[in-house]
């Protein structure tokens, strides 16, 4: 008899415990659904709060990239998305030099969705698939298309950087900001040309041209992916890097990094 009573008591306790667990899970799911952010249908950025940071990628496809360079750029983007981007960080892709006017145009805007989620409420495989389809793949396709475009006679990089800082999310100076410049760094416009000779930045800084293109990049990180051009002398490449490092330093940027594609 005692064994039968104990079995019934244990069954009742088990049922009650299971019911409590189900109630708690349902409450947690309901709370999460209630507090989940509504997303913009185009950018998939939260509508009820600001992004946690801003990254603007400026592509200078004055000359189309080779397939090898495109491959290295896409590999960099994948690694960047996995190791650098935060969940709900907004990423924009802008291009210049696709026409005779060297027009600056936004090609992509979206928020990183993040691949790490609570496994209790989210299927990790589904989260990764959603991130790939809603953010990573469109970003990579945009970059691939932009770097396959026809060449342009002009490359107004300085003008584009100054305009980009005002027109993109980089204008929001209260957030962590990052500029990624993908370019051969060969400025070529009415402002000046670096094709034959790269000016010394100390002299350029004293000109009216510098005042017109000085961007506000205070405390922004700058990543420069350099596109090497055939037959470019090593001294010329060094001069380009020195000029652009000095320029971004003068704009208040921090953590200026160069990487060769």
pLDDT at 59: 95
Domain 53-260 in this protein, CATH class: alpha beta
Any idea of the CA torsion for 93, 250, 208, 170, to the nearest 10 degrees?
30
What confidence tens digit (pLDDT) does each residue in 4-56 have? 555 666 555 455 555 444 444 443 334 343 344 677 787 778 888 889 999 99
Instruction: State the DSSP string of the chain.
Output: -HHHHHHHHHHHHHHHHHHHHHHHHHHHHHHHHHHPPPB-TTT--BSSS--SEEEEEEE--SSPPPHHHHHHHHHHHHHHHHHTPPTTEEEEEEE--SSTT---EEEEEEE---S---TTTS-HHHHHHHHIIIIIHHHHHHHHHHTTSPP-S-B-HHHHHHHHHHHSGGG-TTS-EEEEEEE----EETTEE-SS-PPPHHHHTTSHHHHHH----TT-EEEEEE---TT--HHHHHHHHHHHHHHHHHTT-EEEEEEE-
Average pLDDT over every residue of 244-254: 97
C-alpha distances in angstroms, 142 versus 93, 110, 138, 214?
A: 8, 12, 6, 28
Residue 230 pLDDT > 90, yes or no?
no
Pick the range with the lowest mean pLDDT from 58-72, 145-159, 192-206.
145-159
Query: Regarding predicted confidence, which is higher, 124 or 180?
Result: 180
Residue 153 pLDDT > 90, yes or no?
no
Query: What residues does each domain of the chain span?
Result: 1-36, 53-260
pLDDT at 73: 95
Partners of 56 in the beta sheet? Answer: 92, 179
What confidence tens digit (pLDDT) does each residue in 168-187 have? 999 988 899 999 999 999 99
72 vs 74: CA distance, rounded Å: 6
pTM: 0.80
What confidence tens digit (pLDDT) does each residue in 187-198 have? 999 999 999 899
Q: What is the mean pLDDT of the chain?
A: 82
Asked if 174 and 219 count as a contact pair (C-beta separation under 8 A), the reply is: no
Look at residues 22, 29, 147, 53 and name the one whose alpha carbon lies nearest to residue 97. 147
42 vs 23: CA distance, rounded Å: 35
Pick the range with the lowest mean pLDDT from 17-31, 99-113, 168-182, 243-257.
17-31
- Going by pLDDT thresholds of 50, 70 and 90, the confidence category of residue 213 is very high
pLDDT at 131: 59
Partners of 221 in the beta sheet? Answer: 178, 254
Most confident of 4-8, 97-101, 127-131, 218-222: 218-222
Pick the range with the lowest mean pLDDT from 22-26, 236-240, 257-261.
22-26
């Amino acid at each position: 008899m005692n064994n039968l009573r104990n079995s019934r008591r244990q069954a009742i306790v088990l049922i009650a415990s299971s019911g409590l667990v189900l109630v708690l899970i349902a409450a947690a799911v309901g709370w999460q659904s209630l507090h989940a952010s509504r997303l913009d249908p185009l950018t998939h950025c939260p509508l009820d709060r600001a992004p946690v940071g801003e990254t603007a990628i400026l592509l200078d496809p004055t000359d189309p990239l080779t397939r090898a360079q495109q491959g290295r750029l896409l590999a960099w983007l994948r690694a960047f998305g996995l190791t650098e981007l935060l969940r709900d960080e907004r990423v924009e892709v802008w291009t210049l030099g696709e026409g005779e006017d060297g027009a600056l145009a936004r090609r992509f805007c979206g928020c990183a969705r993040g691949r790490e989620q609570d496994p209790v409420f989210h299927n990790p495989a589904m989260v990764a698939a959603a991130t790939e389809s809603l953010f990573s793949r469109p970003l990579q396709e945009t970059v691939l298309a932009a770097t396959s475009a026809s060449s342009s006679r002009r490359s107004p990089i300085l003008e584009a950087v100054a305009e980009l800082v005002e027109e993109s999310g980089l204008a929001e100076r209260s957030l962590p900001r990052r500029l990624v410049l993908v370019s051969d760094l060969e400025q070529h416009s009415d402002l000046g040309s670096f094709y034959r000779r790269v000016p010394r930045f100390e002299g350029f800084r004293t000109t009216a041209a510098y005042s017109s293109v000085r961007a506000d990049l205070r405390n922004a990180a700058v990543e420069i992916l350099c596109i090497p051009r055939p037959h470019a002398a090593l001294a010329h490449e060094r001069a380009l890097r020195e000029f652009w490092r000095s320029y971004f330093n003068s704009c208040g940027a921090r953590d200026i990094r160069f990487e060769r594609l």
